[in-house]
Structure 1
Amino acid sequence: MRRLLGTTVAITIAMTLTACAGGDDGDDRPHIVVTTNILGDVVASTVGDAAQVTTLMRPNADPHSFEISAREAAMMRDADLVVSNGLGLEEGLQRHLDQAAEAGVETYVAGEQIDVLDYADGESAGTPDPHFWTDPARMRDVVDGLEAATKDIEGIDDRTVEQAAAAYRTELEKLDQEMTGSFASIPEQNRSLVTNHHVFGYLAERFGFRVVGAVIPGGTTLAAPSAADLRDLTEAIEQAGVPTIFAESSQPDRLIQVLADEAGVDVAVSELFTESLTEKGEGADTYLSMMRANTERITSGLSPGPTE
């Protein structure tokens, strides 16, 4: 799934150069720079045509480890607003975020706008979980805060933002209703999730799922499981009787396939889009399409078959 097409990269670089040029293209709208591509889509949908929005993270990248160029770092320091996820997600980018804040750039940290959950177990137990976008209700909180934050940007068209934000909130509410209805069809005893690493805590809390475990024992994809971790998770899977375990599209699924083999039971492996949007046409090029695709796959993977 991790396919970075040359033409797309070239277009992204061209857009970055234009933004750094300080409006040489005649676009004098305020400039908002966003770290992750999930937030980039949400920010663009929230502000509409009121601002230029540049997203740093490429499609199919890993938010824990992606890096930026010196030119992109300079662009952050020149932005009218920098939007980040926060809660420790952008591990490879934090120093640039700190430098932008020290330079006096206005910042908006989405993770500071929501009711934060802590990881329940694993190496990250007790620390904030940054994967709040799996709950569309919390994303509405992010949109509310972002709309308020843009009012402090000089030259922003408040009316344009208000209209775009209201329209996008309606889309988020519709998504929320669709997810609620779809997950309601899964019997309560089947609502157990196993993934590559801990990413669905917010979805589980909101929609009544249990997170049985994760192949990677922590909140970051930079960690690795031990043999003991795999044995413990295998036992948990057997006890829970889950019919499907889920692999993330941003990572190879070798580990989770090994886990399926180790479990010694008939467990299907289904791919989800979790930490990154995809290229256009790959199934999850917007936040809304990503969440709808995941909802359908989780519902299909955990619903009982015709003979159950």
Structure 2
Amino acid sequence: MKALGILAVSAVLISLAGCGSDDGAAAAPDSAALSVVATTPEVADFVRNIGGDDVTVTQIIKPNVDPHEYEPTPADIKAIGEAKVVVKNGVGLESWLDQTIASAGFKGTVVDSSQGVTLREGGHEEEGEEHAEGEEHAEGEEHDPHIWHDPRNAKIMVTNIEKALAAADPEDADAYATNLTSYSAKLDKLDADNEAAFAKLPAADRKLVTNHDAFGYYVARYKLEFVGSVIPSLDTSAELSAQQLTDLVAKIKATGTKAIFTESSLPPKSAEAIAKQAGVQVIGGEDALYGDSLGEQGTPTGTYLGAEEHNTKVIVDALAG
């Protein structure tokens, strides 16, 4: 169905000739700057931090939009067709992208920021294998695409981005390298701060229930216990069966889990219902976690660093209570 949608919107691209994007996601045009399209809010934020004033970034997926169910628009295809570089999260998160690139007639560089990240299998029990340069996933193989929730993976992602920007724009390579050094230090600090925050929380209290299975890398990095998710899947298309719902409620009670955390890009109703049955608090509203997205640009959670700091503070505060 998504492929049909992409073909349909590409057919009307001619009507967009000469029209700019009106979503405010792209920076003001600068003929001297490198034109980059980034798929997700996280990847777009990485590109802005590494590229600085030497790039203009068009962000495809807007804040608080579910990337698993995204459908590209004519404006997306137009932006990709005009870009020099396209940066994606990878690991199958952007299932719509290849066809969109083909429809756009894009001839530039596609950057898979996940290259070199050690991928997790589709679940919490197994660790995946390193996703080597140019490696293709086996047919039917599913890996967890939420790689950015481990800041060590984010460092790999921004390094891949820096290399691609420098290759596309050698004149500004020194600036990109300087920005990478500065931002990598901030990622190291984020990681250390997260570790310090969880070190104050007894291991018995480090139990996590979320809207969907988006925090596998985070759970592994900070030694949490993943009790379950309202949507039993890495993406957001699945639903709990009646038996799974009953089992999740029972597991929450049996493990002494203190809270269910909703996510900013998903409706909270199911989480609220399960929390009520389990007799635990539901964390949502302004305290909802950023599982698939970031906050609005210009807000404290509108950056990767801000969203991850928010997630850790909310989780620690709720579980400590």
What band does the TM-score fall into relative to the shorter chain? 0.7 to 0.9
Query: What does residue 67 of structure 2 align with?
Result: 63
How far apart are 1:257 and its partner, in Å?
0.5
C-alpha displacement of 1:90? 2.2
Q: What's the CA shift for 1:112?
A: 2.4
TM-aligned CA deviation for residue 292 of structure 1: 0.5
Match of 1:80 among 77, 84, 101: 84
Q: 2: CA distance between counterparts of 1:12 and 1:129?
A: 32
Equivalences for residues 34-73 of structure 1 within 5 A: 34-73=38-77
Counterparts of 1:122-133 in structure 2 under 5 Å? Answer: 127-133=142-148
**Contact 2:219 2:226 survives alignment (8 Å):** yes
- Gaps spanning 5+ residues in structure 1: where? 1-10, 20-24
Letter matched to residue 309 of structure 2: R
Alignment CA distance shift 1:104-1:232 (3 Å): same
| Structure 1 residues 156 and 57: alpha-carbon distance in aligned structure 2, compared to 1, 3 A threshold | farther
Which residue does 1:22 correspond to in 2?
A: none
Is 2:124–2:216's contact at 8 Å kept on the other side of the alignment?
no
In the alignment, what sits opposite 1:221?
A: 236
Distance, in Å, in 2 between the alignment partners of 1:120 and 1:197 is 11
- Is the contact made by 2:146 and 2:215 (CA closer than 8 Å) also made in structure 1? yes
User: Structure 1 residues 14, 246: CA separation in 2 closer, same or farther (over 3 Å shift)?
Assistant: closer
**For the Cα contact (< 8 Å) 2:38–2:44, is it kept in 1?**
yes
- Amino acid of the structure 2 residue aligned with 1:114: V
State the AA in 2 paired with 1:297. V
Structure 2: tracts of 5 or more residues without a match:
1-19, 126-139
What amino acid is aligned across from residue 316 of structure 2 in structure 1? T
Query: In the alignment, does 2:113 pair up with 1:110?
Result: yes
169 and 17 in structure 1: CA distance in 2 versus 1, 3 angstrom threshold: closer
Q: What is the CA–CA distance in structure 2 between the aligned matches of 1:18 and 1:182, rounded to whole Å?
A: 36
Task: Give 1:105 shift.
Answer: 2.3
Moved more, 25-34 or 284-293: 25-34
Alignment of 1:128-207 (within 5 A): 128-154=143-169, 156-207=171-222
Percent of paired sites with the same residue: 31
- Tell me the alpha carbon deviations over residues 84-139 of structure 1, each in whole angstroms, 9 at most, x when there is no partner: 11112124445214556x743211112223111112269xx972000011111110
Give the TM-score normalised by the residue count of structure 2: 0.81
2:311 pairs with 1:297: no
Whether the 8 Å CA contact 1:51–1:156 is kept in 2: the answer is: no
2-side partners of 1:274 and 1:46: how far apart? 23
Distance across 2 between alignment mates of 1:52 and 1:251? 29
Report the count of equivalent residues.
Answer: 285
CA distance in 2, matches of 1:155, 1:74: 26
In the alignment, what sits opposite 1:269?
A: 283
Q: Secondary structure at the match of 1:272?
A: coil
Name the CA distance, whole Å, in 2 between partners of 1:252 and 1:67.
19
Q: Give the match for residue 33 of structure 2.
A: 29
Given the superposition, is the C-alpha separation of residues 222 and 94 from structure 1 closer, same or farther in structure 2, using an over 3 Å criterion?
farther
- Could you tell me the TM-score, scaled by structure 1's length? 0.85
- For 1:285, the aligned partner's letter is G
Question: CA 1:213 to 1:280, structure 2 compared with 1: closer, same or farther past 3 Å?
Answer: same
1:302 maps to amino acid? L
Corresponding residue for residue 13 of structure 2: none
* Closer/same/farther in 2, CA of residues 260 and 18 from structure 1, 3 Å limit: closer
Distance 1:219 1:136, change over 3 A: same
Let me know the Cα RMSD of the aligned residues: 2.4
Q: Distance in 1 between matches of 2:56 and 2:307?
A: 23
Do 1:29 and 1:156's aligned partners in 2 also have CA atoms closer than 8 Å? no
Amino acid at match of 2:318: G
Q: What is aligned with 1:235? A: 250
